[in-house]
């Protein structure tokens, strides 16, 4: 026989079970929704202090002096400054977001100081008039075009690495990645989301398993990863992430992540970019002619932040 106390406790226990069930579901949903962690570019940009007008002017002088063409030195981060910043960040393997932040400023200062030291100017990291004059003298003495700008040729004679090659994929590697991805077009999954006989078969959502397999098969050192948010975390940790503002720099062989900071839900391999359209080879995507069938297909999308969250560089 149940006592009154036992009878009153039972609903409480049920309520507790219901709460635990809801919390468990929320955690599982959170893993799929992919809310970024502490390393998130979205989080870091939200708390990053804005560059001051004087810092932006310094960056503009340095970018112009290093042949990145940031436009006028006005202290405003307009389209030309943003594009120049993205180019510099990409060359130096920094996060490509077009924002003049601490890392970008430090990178610019370091490179300008190297140029100044070679040209015999005060190494203060500010590509001002004195540096321009010193570089002109350096160029004239070596029969280079004496424009005072430290472009590719000038920096090459100075022995300064402009492009950090160690983190930039070669054209041959990118070609291998695309070839590997396209070799799988037409492969289909069964009703259980399994891809029989394929190393990327995980019998669940398999786009990340496919994309990372393509990279490994092509010679990129990346682990087996089954979830899109985990690919993003890996890219951030290995300085291979390019945010939404850098989508215009997409190249064949890049991995491209669909969605947003709060819902990174799909990933594929960039096949080609044509104007504002990107062609993506991805696994676990619907057949263009039979929407109920899922497999590996090459499909086109607008290269836009409304579709994609960002890129992972090989």
Which CATH number is 292's domain given?
Answer: 3.90.1720.10
Task: Tell me how crowded residue 127 is: count the other CB atoms within 10 A of its CB.
Answer: 29
Asked whether residue 55 carries a pLDDT value surpassing 90, the answer given is yes
Taking the C-alpha atoms of residue 47 and residue 130, their distance in angstroms, rounded to an integer, is 36
Asked whether residue 96 carries a pLDDT value surpassing 70, the answer given is yes
pTM: 0.59
Residue 6: HSE in the Cβ half-sphere, 13 Å Cα cutoff: 3
Query: What is the mean predicted confidence (pLDDT) over 156-171?
Result: 82
273 DSSP 8-state letter: E
Percent of the chain with pLDDT over 90: 69
How far, CA to CA in Å, does 12 sit from each of 16, 104, 162?
6, 56, 66
Taking the C-alpha atoms of residue 61 and residue 73, their distance in angstroms, rounded to an integer, is 6
The number of domains in the chain is: 2
What is the residue range of 101's domain? 51-165
How far, CA to CA in Å, does 52 sit from each of 33, 80, 163, 247?
35, 17, 27, 26
In 3D space, the residue among 270, 293, 236 whose CA is nearest the CA of residue 37 turns out to be 236
Judgement on whether residues 247 and 173 belong to the same structural domain of the protein? yes
Judgement on whether residues 143 and 249 belong to the same structural domain of the protein? no
Confidence of residue 166 (pLDDT cuts 50, 70, 90): low
Contact 200, 283 (CB under 8 A): yes
In 3D space, the residue among 284, 276, 283 whose CA is nearest the CA of residue 303 turns out to be 276
Judgement on whether residues 64 and 187 belong to the same structural domain of the protein? no
């Amino acid at each position: 026989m149940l006592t009154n106390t036992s009878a009153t406790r039972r609903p409480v226990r049920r309520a507790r079970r219901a709460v635990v069930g809801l919390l468990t579901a929320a955690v599982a949903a959170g893993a799929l929704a992919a809310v970024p962690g502490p390393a998130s570019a979205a989080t870091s940009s939200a708390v990053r202090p804005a560059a001051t007008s004087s810092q932006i002017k310094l960056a503009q002088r340095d970018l112009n002096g290093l042949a990145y063409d940031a436009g006028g030195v006005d202290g405003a981060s307009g389209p030309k400054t943003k594009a120049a910043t993205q180019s510099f960040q990409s060359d130096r393997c920094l996060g490509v977001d077009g924002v003049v932040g601490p890392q970008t400023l430090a990178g610019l200062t370091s490179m300008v100081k190297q140029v100044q030291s070679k040209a015999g100017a005060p190494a203060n990291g500010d590509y001002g008039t004195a540096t321009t004059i010193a570089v002109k003298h350096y160029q004239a003495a070596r029969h280079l075009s004496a424009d005072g700008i430290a472009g590719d040729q000038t920096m090459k004679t100075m022995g300064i690495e402009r492009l950090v090659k160690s983190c930039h994929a070669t054209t041959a590697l990118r070609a291998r990645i695309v070839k590997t991805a396209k070799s799988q077009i037409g492969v289909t999954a069964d009703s259980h989301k399994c891809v029989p006989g394929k190393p990327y078969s995980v019998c669940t959502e398999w786009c990340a398993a496919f994309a990372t397999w393509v990279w490994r098969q092509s010679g990129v050192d990346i682990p087996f990863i089954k979830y899109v948010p985990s690919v993003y975390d890996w890219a951030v940790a290995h300085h291979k992430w390019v945010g939404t503002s850098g989508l215009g720099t997409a190249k064949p062989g890049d991995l491209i992540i669909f969605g947003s900071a709060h819902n990174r839900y799909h990933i594929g391999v960039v096949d080609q970019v044509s104007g504002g359209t990107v062609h993506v080879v991805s696994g676990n995507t619907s057949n263009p002619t039979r929407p109920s069938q899922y497999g590996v297909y090459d499909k086109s999308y607008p290269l836009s932040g409304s579709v994609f969250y960002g890129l992972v560089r090989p």
